[in-house]
């Protein structure tokens, strides 16, 4: 129990330090999106079939998905998932698949989570993505673009993301 509190404390401390340093990258000079990273929770990803929705909306084949799920000994290991056990007690990433995802320089990182989650927030912040998009009211400092929407319909959220990326000249105009 104490180890979890210590881990959460160090993760929150690292988030605050990264935000203060303003390392979040801003809009790229690129005109089109060639790679998309998607960060979500296991339940949202399964319930909404995110992979097909992203492929349908953004028409890119270079997409990478990573989902957070609460650690359970019964869960099979998969490179598609990370959990609180992907971090050591100091809040450092120890999972190689998570390190790989964080090191990829996506043109856009689309986050799909509607509730505060320390692990997802930290992962979003540590991502090398050039442009980060997320739901409003999670953490104002995490995203370059926040979409205020009711999360009951993921289609509305993805259409809004696509619309604003077109306005910012980040996607092909025929999308």
> For residue 18, is pLDDT > 80?
no
Q: What is the pLDDT of residues 115-138, one digit of tens each?
A: 889 999 999 999 999 889 999 888
Better-predicted residue by pLDDT, 29 or 143 = 143
Q: Domain coordinates of the chain in residue numbers?
A: 2-167
pLDDT category, 98, cuts 50, 70, 90?
very high
Q: What are phi and psi of 37, to 5 degrees?
A: -105, 140
Contact partners, residue 143, CB within 8 Å, separation at least 6: 111, 124, 132, 133, 134
CA-based radius of gyration for the chain: 16
> For residue 164, is pLDDT > 90?
no
For 2-167, which CATH class? alpha beta
Spatial distance between the Cα atoms of 77 and 80, rounded to a whole number of angstroms: 9
């Amino acid at each position: 129990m104490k180890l979890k509190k210590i881990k959460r404390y160090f993760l929150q401390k690292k988030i605050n330090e990264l935000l203060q340093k303003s390392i979040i990258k801003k809009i790229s000079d690129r005109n089109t999106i060639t790679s998309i990273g998607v960060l979500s929770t296991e339940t949202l990803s399964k319930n909404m079939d995110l992979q097909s929705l992203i492929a349908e909306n953004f028409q890119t084949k270079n997409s990478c998905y990573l989902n957070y799920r609460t650690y359970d000994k019964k869960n099979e290991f998969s490179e598609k998932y990370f959990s609180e056990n992907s971090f050591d007690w100091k809040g450092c990433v120890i999972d190689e698949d998570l390190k790989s995802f964080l090191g990829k320089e996506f043109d856009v990182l689309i986050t799909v989570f509607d509730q505060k989650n320390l692990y997802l927030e930290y992962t979003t912040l540590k991502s090398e993505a050039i442009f980060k998009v997320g739901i409003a009211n999670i953490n104002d400092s995490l995203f370059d673009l926040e979409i205020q929407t009711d999360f009951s319909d993921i289609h509305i959220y993805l259409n809004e993301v696509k619309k604003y990326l077109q306005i910012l000249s980040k996607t092909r105009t025929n999308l």
